[in-house]
């Protein structure tokens, strides 16, 4: 698929795939004592002919279907929806989590683990960040407001930092309380609450609940339960997630004798540019995104941008490439931001709401085309190089799990299991790896 030109991978990147070694640590006690047993049971429901990546894709479609439901039944994100739709949201999110954890087990069960699997999995997770935020906003009745935007930004920034951490440390680390496990389950319970008691129940002031009066004294006046949910997400991101990721990146830089200031600039400047573009567009006095209720389309658009950014980091991790600059993803977005804010320069250049909405639709369509072309090129290159197929597995693997043939492979397989169960984290230092730039 290198026929698509610069969208594909170089031969050096493809050759570096041979150094790929999956490493993950999940410290969640909920995973260790509860969910792990559920996922081990769930995998037995899948026939061995289903490719792991197909399982991942099916899980993502559960979320996409629910986003379509939002566009049809809850386009303003604020009205009371039919009861069934909230149960659909919760079921879709829970099934996505299930399929997202089962796909790796299916890969080891069928002996089809590969770098493509990690790229495909994390690529779908990156897109799902936007879908989760939209489901949360619709379930809580947040409407087209800054609260919805806060949920979106917190979700994507959290995933970005985790992905950057994996790039530098070589290990996907999930803490004792993490978003993919506890975060998703809390969201499921919150959405179920809306199904049982209605989205309006989230907008009751905390002060009206007598048993919680002692908490209300520490909160701003008229704080609702929806506010508590949104700012609770922000609190846990700022206090527990962000510092851990930044510390892990800093430690990895020290271990590898990298210039920390330069590496943090590589990681954080594109992220700041992405968040700044979102805020400068939506909160521009010349924008009608919030007033005309176009936040769903806007979220899907910037979600595609983030999908490209996060996938690019994972791809760089797999191919031992330098940390990406994201120019291809961010430049079109920033051009639109500057156009929308052109009224700051001259009143003649102020766009009408109809023109802005048309431009947003065009930008979304353009990102869809570029994203699909890029994904097709990258997946095609990897499949051709490794001699595999993305959404199918060889018939010989249907009924037989690949058995490790060397001591090293056996140790790696055992290590992976121990890591999934919350075992000790290993050093990511490996021998015979290529060096590039400062790596």
The CA distances from residue 188 to 68, 182, 208, 230, 242, in Å, are: 18, 10, 25, 15, 23
Is the separation of the CB atoms in 190 and 140 below 8 Å? yes
Cα(291)–Cα(145) distance, integer angstroms: 9
The CA angle 9-382-96, to the nearest 5 degrees, is 115
Q: Hey, which residues does 224 pair with through a beta bridge?
A: 205
- Given phi > 0 = left and psi -120 to 50 = alpha, else beta, which region is 432? left
Judge residue 437's burial from the number of C-beta atoms within 10 Å of its C-beta, 0-12 exposed, 13-18 middle, 19 or more buried. Answer: exposed
Going by their DSSP bridges, the two strands 172-174 and 24-26 should be labelled as parallel
Separation CA 67–CA 65 (nearest Å): 5
Catalytic residues: 122
Q: Please give the Cα distance from 298 to 367 (Å, whole number).
A: 12
Residue 74 CB: number of other CB atoms within 10 A? 25
> 298-319: b or e for each residue (b if 16 or more CB lie within 10 Å)?
bbbbbbbbbbbbbbbbbbbbbb
Cβ proximity of 141 and 81 under 8 Å: no
433 by Cβ neighbours in 10 Å (0-12 / 13-18 / 19+) ranks as: middle
């Amino acid at each position: 698929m290198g026929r698509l030109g610069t969208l594909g991978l170089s031969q050096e990147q493809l050759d570096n795939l041979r150094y790929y070694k999956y490493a993950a640590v999940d410290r969640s006690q909920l995973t260790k004592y509860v969910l792990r047993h559920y996922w081990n049971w769930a995998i037995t429901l899948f026939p061995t002919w289903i490719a792991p990546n197909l399982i991942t894709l099916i899980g993502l479609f559960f979320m996409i279907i629910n986003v379509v439901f939002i566009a049809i039944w809850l386009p303003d994100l604020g009205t009371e929806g039919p009861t069934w739709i909230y149960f659909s949201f919760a079921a879709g999110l829970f099934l996505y989590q299930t399929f997202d954890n089962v796909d790796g087990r299916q890969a080891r069960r069928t002996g089809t683990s590969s770098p493509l699997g990690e790229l495909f999995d994390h690529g779908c997770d990156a897109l799902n960040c936007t879908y989760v935020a939209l489901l949360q906003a619709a379930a809580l009745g947040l409407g087209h407001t800054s609260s919805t935007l806060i949920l979106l930004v917190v979700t994507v920034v959290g995933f970005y930092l985790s992905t950057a951490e994996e790039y530098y440390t070589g290990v996907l680390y999930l803490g004792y309380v993490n978003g993919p496990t506890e975060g998703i389950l809390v969201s499921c319970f919150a959405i179920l609450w809306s199904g049982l008691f209605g989205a309006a129940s989230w907008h009751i002031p905390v002060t009206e609940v007598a048993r919680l009066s002692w908490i209300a004294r520490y909160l701003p006046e008229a704080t609702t339960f929806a506010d508590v949910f949104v700012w609770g997400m922000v609190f846990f991101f700022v206090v527990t997630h962000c510092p851990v990721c930044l510390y892990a990146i800093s430690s990895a830089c020290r271990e590898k004798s990298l210039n920390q200031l330069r590496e943090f600039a590589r990681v954080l400047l594109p992220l700041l540019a992405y968040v700044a573009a979102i805020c400068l567009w939506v909160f521009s006095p010349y924008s009608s995104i919030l007033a005309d209720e176009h936040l769903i389309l806007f979220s899907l658009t910037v979600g595609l941008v983030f999908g490209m950014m996060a996938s690019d980091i994972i791809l760089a991790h797999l191919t031992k490439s330098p940390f990406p600059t994201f120019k291809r993803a961010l430049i079109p977005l920033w051009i639109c931001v500057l156009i929308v804010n052109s009224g700051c320069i001259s009143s003649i250049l102020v766009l009408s709401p109809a023109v802005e909405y048309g431009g947003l639709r065009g930008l979304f369509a353009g990102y869809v085309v570029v994203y699909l072309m890029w994904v097709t090129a990258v997946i095609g290159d990897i499949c051709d190089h490794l001699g595999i197929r993305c959404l199918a597995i060889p018939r010989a693997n249907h009924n037989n799990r690949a058995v490790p043939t060397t001591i090293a492979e056996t140790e790696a397989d055992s290590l992976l299991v121990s890591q999934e169960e919350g075992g000790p984290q290993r050093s990511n230092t490996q021998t015979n790896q290529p060096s590039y730039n400062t790596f």
